[in-house]
Amino acid sequence: MENKLAVVFDSAGTLLHMYRVARDISDGAMLEDIESTMLVAGRKGRALVVLHADMEMILEAQPHRLISDFMEKEHVELDVSCSNGEVSPSEISKIVQQSDLVLGDVQEVFCRVKTRCPNIFYLACGFIVDVVEQSVTYVVSTGGRLYPESKDTLQALHQRGAGLYIASGDSMKNLSRLSRCIGVPIDGVFDIASTFDKERIVKDLKKQYDKVIMVGDGMNDMLALRSADIGILTVQQGDSRPSRLQESADVVVGNISEVVRFADEAISS
């Protein structure tokens, strides 16, 4: 069979309806339904950092325990999911470890997400770090559940012979569960994918397939949307999207199921 079509999906906001909370460290304010990548895009030198830790371990820990102590004793690692400009992962880690953040800061945003997001598929957490200010500016948590149409959409694409991929800033722990649920082979899952990683993944796939479709919903998908043969911006999450993000896509859809129609057009062309 010819490699006619590949379809690459972002996860959060694209395959999953997300509920997001950010706690502003400067004043303690809770920002609900906030797009974490937009907080990063709002200031040069900011980065969204994923904390690779078991959620239950965090929730059961003493609230006053320092994040730095937790990371050191439990061998917890950080990864940069996306950034506004070049940042050094080692510098990011140093800023987090030197902060006075405690696990209670993370537990607070966790609990807010869990109470507001029914039928939660997974929980994740992290920080927004500002390398210019040399500080952690936000603690963030996200919870997601599958859109009702996601599984059927992926099944329809599979039946058409499309290669299915996920390129996401999320961790492999969460993405492996998602891939099993919707039928994406694990070797087609790219975790902790930055804006530039997603662009590279699309360009690499274009060497293997006649056509590549990128489906995303956020600023960190912009370069990949531009690089794809067909860039599809989905607004099913319901958040407003900057005009420059909308302009980077070939089409804007309100439901993930609409991707099948464009896949059919790509296959038949």
100-123 per-position pLDDT tens digit:
999 999 999 988 998 877 677 778
187-224 per-position pLDDT tens digit:
999 998 989 999 999 999 999 999 999 999 988 899 99
Higher pLDDT, 81 or 185: 185
- The pLDDT, as a whole number, for residue 2 is 60
pLDDT higher than threshold 60 for residue 261: yes
Query: Could you tell me the pLDDT band of residue 1, with boundaries at 50, 70 and 90?
Result: very low
Q: Which amino acid is at 264?
A: D
Other Cβ atoms less than 10 A from the Cβ of 252: the count is 14
Pairwise CA distance, residues 189 & 180, whole Å: 11
Say what the pTM is.
0.81
- The pLDDT, as a whole number, for residue 52 is 85
Measuring CA to CA, which residue among 23, 222, 42 is closest to residue 130? 42
Query: Could you tell me the pLDDT band of residue 41, with boundaries at 50, 70 and 90?
Result: confident
**Beta pairing partners, 66:** 102
